[in-house]
Amino acid sequence: MPIKKPIALFFMTITLFFNGIWNPGFCDGDNLFERSKQAKDLYSAEEMSLLKEKAEMITANYENVFPLGVECILNESMNFKFDTPPVIKDGRTMVPVRTIAEAFEASVLWDPVERKVTVKKDKKEILIWVGGKRVSVNGRTSEIDVPALILNGRTMVPLRFITENLGLTILYHENYGIVEIIG
């Protein structure tokens, strides 16, 4: 006799939970699709058209850079809107630093001479140089695996790097291709 779906799902969830693998965040099950739709609904038809144009420009002009839909990056309050699409570059999700940082109450400064972004929140200072892998967090220099770049006039940085250094958590829902920012 086959195991019924609810029972099998219950035992799979318990197994994953106790193995430290399962952490649904706020976007579990059908709620993930609803929140993704809500993210997309934040944009007007004109904004979506502009984002589509920018995505096409990125695809045409940049090798190995793949635009993502705005509904692929979520957070509980949906307090941000992209003016250029997030992208995948070298296996990393890259986002406009200002969009994410300001959504989580950090300030962002651009230094065009040094081609450097400074992100400040509370007592944390993050320095990111465009085109290189060098970064600095509270005076400690290190490297990121994918350098910051400028697309559509926006400085794009690895999402995990900026969010984790702002004290946030990232969950990647691989089955849905959606990244969730928790914080």
Structure pTM?
A: 0.81
The mean of the pLDDT values for the chain is 86
The C-alpha angle with vertex 154 and arms to 26 and 176, in degrees rounded to 5, equals 30
Q: How far apart are the first and last CA of the chain?
A: 44
12-182: in CATH 3.30.457.10? yes
Give the separation between CA 67 and CA 73, rounded to whole angstroms. 12
- Quote the pLDDT of residue 31: 83
| Token representation of residue 140 | 């400690």
Residue tagged 């697309």 (tokens): 151
Q: How confident is the model at residue 109 (pLDDT cuts 50, 70, 90)?
A: very high
Q: How confident is the model at residue 99 (pLDDT cuts 50, 70, 90)?
A: very high
Across 75-99, average pLDDT: 93
Domain ranges of the chain: 12-182
